[in-house]
Amino acid sequence: KETNYLKLLENIRKSIHEGRKVFIFGAPYQFKELCEVMAGNNKKMELQKGSLVLMGGGWKSFVGEAIDRDTLVNMLTNALGIPSQMVLEGYSMTEINTLMLRCEHGRFHIPPLVEPVIFDKELNPLGGKDLKGTFGFLDPLAVSYPGFIISGDYVHFVDGECNCGLTGPALTEIGRLPGSEIKGCGGIMGSIQA
pLDDT digits (tens, 9 = 90+) for 48-92: 999 999 999 876 666 667 788 899 999 999 999 999 999 999 999
CA triplet 67, 13, 188: central angle to 5 degrees? 45
Identify the band that residue 193 occupies on the pLDDT scale cut at 50, 70 and 90. Answer: very low
Q: Can you tell me the distance from the alpha carbon of 87 to that of 78, in angstroms, rounded to the nearest whole number?
A: 12
Name 174's bridge partners: 155
Q: Report the pLDDT value the prediction gives residue 62, as an integer from 0 to 100.
A: 65
Identify the band that residue 142 occupies on the pLDDT scale cut at 50, 70 and 90. Answer: confident
Mean predicted confidence (pLDDT) in 127-136? 97
Identify the band that residue 181 occupies on the pLDDT scale cut at 50, 70 and 90. Answer: low
Among 30-39, 172-181, 185-194, top mean pLDDT goes to 30-39
CA nearest 152: which of 136, 168, 166? 136
Question: Which phi-psi region, left, alpha or beta, contains residue 69 (left: φ > 0; alpha: ψ -120 to 50)?
Answer: alpha
Among 39-48, 92-101, 127-136, 147-156, top mean pLDDT goes to 127-136
Q: Can you tell me the distance from the alpha carbon of 173 to that of 11, in angstroms, rounded to the nearest whole number?
A: 35
Q: Is the pLDDT of residue 175 over 70?
A: yes
Q: Is the pLDDT of residue 186 over 50?
A: no
Tell me the average pLDDT of the chain: 88
Q: Report the pLDDT value the prediction gives residue 61, as an integer from 0 to 100.
A: 60
Pairing mode, strands 148-161 and 115-119:
unpaired
